[in-house]
Structure 1
Amino acid sequence: MAASLNDVVGWIKDIFYRLRKLESGSFLESSSISYGRMRFIGGTLMIDSGGQFVVVGSASIDGTMTINGTFLLTGSGWRIVGSGSIEGPTTIVGTLQIDGDTRITGNLGLEGDIAVTGNMSVQDGGKVLVGDMLLDPTEHGGAVIFPNGAQVFTDGTTVQVFLGNSVVQVSDAYARIQHGGDVVQIDGNGIRMSPGAVATIAGTGLPLGALLIGTDGYLRQSDGT
């Protein structure tokens, strides 16, 4: 049966309608590639105007990847393999575990409690400041220096504590208390006191050099009167 003129006109209109849709439509809109590949050579794949880049599966990038903006990585099992650097302020929220050697070059500030399991070594003559108290390995061969100037240190044979004119010395052979030039020492021979360490007292009727305790509680020696 021969087609009528109206049928032919309708076909032509339909063809032009489809041509207009091809010309005015978005190329590759709602397109799908099955078991194939789309390749850009020297071009750019741009997603803008609120679009999203969604990968369900895996993504492999061989080259440089630059992200300007917020980068959010969620989930477990992610890894960064190889050398690299993080430049700029960084915040880690949660537990951080480092398995391996760690080196920090620069100032380190820690806020909160610190627990150390194992040995800790401060090398190369480094000083440790605890509040206003200083652990200084270069002072007298190693000393603890307090804010008021008092020190605890060792000279290799004795352990000494001093502040101002007062010194306490402890060694394997003796223990000594000294204030200025006055000395009281305990050693294998007994107790030794320098002549000025015990003040004299008169009018006791005791022989010269006899020791007694005065009413003020201090040890005194008779002047022989």
Structure 2
Amino acid sequence: MMTNLFSIFEPSSSIFSLHLNWSSTLLGIIFLPWFFWASSSRWLFLWSKMYQLLHKEFKTILGPSNMGISFIFMSLLTYILFNNFLGLVPYIFTSSSHLAMTLTLALPLWITFIVFGWINHTQHMFSHLVPQGTPGALMPFMVLIETTSNIIRPGTLAIRLAANMIAGHLLLTLLGNMGPILPNSLLPILVFSQILLLLLEAAVAIIQSYVFAILSTLYASEVN
């Protein structure tokens, strides 16, 4: 029995105190690799074209000295996209709706960028704290504002992804709970609205994985 709406996001299934629901995040390791070794197909061609477009876009953002780091963000996008879509399957735990996962992805990336930038490009990092053309009287305040905005970046990345995945699932749950109390004449409308909302959730899953990857790429480009 569901005690509250957010109980659908609780990793409650466990054996020996190990939460088995989190194992869904590792399913991509099992299902994705064979896809690249399989014979040519339309899906493989479409996936390759998408990867080529993403690679060009990430290379443009990172600049000529990216040294292949764009492949890291492409892998990050693929991983988040897989978990977002996996959460749309009934009775499968939505791991990307938890801050435990999204912060685990965002925080190490942000710390890596900050440490690398301050060690190798110290003067460049200092210049980012004071935008060009700032009056001298406002410089201390701009340094404080820019420092605060840099510190909250991993939190905004993590909360944005988790909140968007939670919102759609809650709407689907609310509409689904209305089924038993609705008259039979309104059930087709409910089913149709659920299908439309599921399509919207699929679009959100794609958009949010792209937003997470592209913002991480933009943050990485600032330390060069």
Class of the TM-score when normalised by the shorter of the 2 chains: under 0.3
TM-score (norm 1): 0.19
TM-score (norm 2): 0.19
Larger radius of gyration: 1
Higher RCO by CA contacts (8 Å cutoff, separation 6 or greater): 2
Tell me which protein shows more strand as a share of its residues.
1
Tell me which protein shows more helix as a share of its residues.
2
